[in-house]
Every structure is written in structure tokens, then in C-alpha cells.
Amino acid sequence: MERSRQARFTNTAPTQGEFTVAFLLAGIFFLLLTPLVVQALVAWMTAGVFALPNGHLLQAYGGLLRGHYGVGLTGQVAGALPPDPAMWTLTVFGEVLVIGSAVVVGMWMKDLTGAGPRHGLATPTQAAEALGIPRLRKSAAVIRPDLYARSGRRTRADSK
């Protein structure tokens, strides 16, 4: 019985390429966001205000590109921040934490969605449970013709 066209194309699991693109885009987003979050957390601990550069995002990133933290924040909050080398050290620590978290979450999502190269394949144990050992041995030439070719028949390796 043939399945309908809609039934054949309803698999919504991401492919390996889609998963890679989503992982890279999320990684870039979090890598760009981490310095500002570190700055806001340090400002919260030193000045008592969780301060993000609202409305001054381009100036804040411009200051970060020049190596200076606190650009785009009020004078009181920017003055309470530690020196730039300490902030860069905290940012590197934050970036390592973000990258590690992204890898762990990415591997978990890959396992959860089954986007790996063995998606849909049974393990040898699962195949033995489902079919039974005698049936697997009887069908070995069909399941793995490269390993269990019938005698007297040519295989691709023989024809070369």
C-alpha cells in the first residue's frame, strides 16, 4: 500500500546541515552577547545596577572593539567597573562557559532529534531482539551482501 505524498514528507526532524547552521548561528549570537552580559553582571555586583547599554548598542560594541568597557553606560555605572584587563579576563571566562554550554546543549539536541548519521538504524542487539538470531543468520546475505555473499555469485569486489 503506497503512502500519500503528505505522509512521506511530514518528517520534521532537522537534517545534519540544518542542525549545523542553527548551532553556528546560535553560537555567534551568544558569543556577541557575552561581553555585554559580563559587563552587566559586573556592574550589578559593583554599582548595584544590572546595566545594559539600552539604545547605545553600536557605541558599546565600538568601545569593545577598541578594548574599553563601559561605553554606552551612565557615568556612575561605567566608573564602578573594574579595569579593562580584569573585564577581558572575565569575558574570556564567560566565553569559555558559553562555548562549553553550547557544545553540551548541541550534543544533547542532536541525540534528542536523532540528527546523527545512524538515525533510524538498529543496533545489532535491537536487530537480534526484533528478528531473532536464526533469522538474522538466514538473512545475512541480504542484510550485509558485502560481508556474507553467497558462494558462486559475483560481487562488486570480484568484478574489479
pTM (2 decimals)? 0.62
Write out 43-83 in H/E/C secondary structure: HHHHCCCCCCCCCCHHHHHHHHHCCCCCCCCCHHHHHHCCC
Report DSSP letters for 88-104, one per residue.
Answer: HHHHHHHHHHHHHHHHH
Residue-wise pLDDT tens digits, 82-132: 999 999 999 999 999 999 998 898 888 777 776 666 666 778 888 888 888
In the chain, what is the greatest distance between 2 CA atoms, to the nearest angstrom?
Answer: 87
pLDDT of residue 45: 93
- Nearest-10 crossing angle of helices 16-46, 84-113: 150
Q: What is the pLDDT of residues 27-52, one digit of tens each?
A: 899 989 999 999 999 999 998 888 88
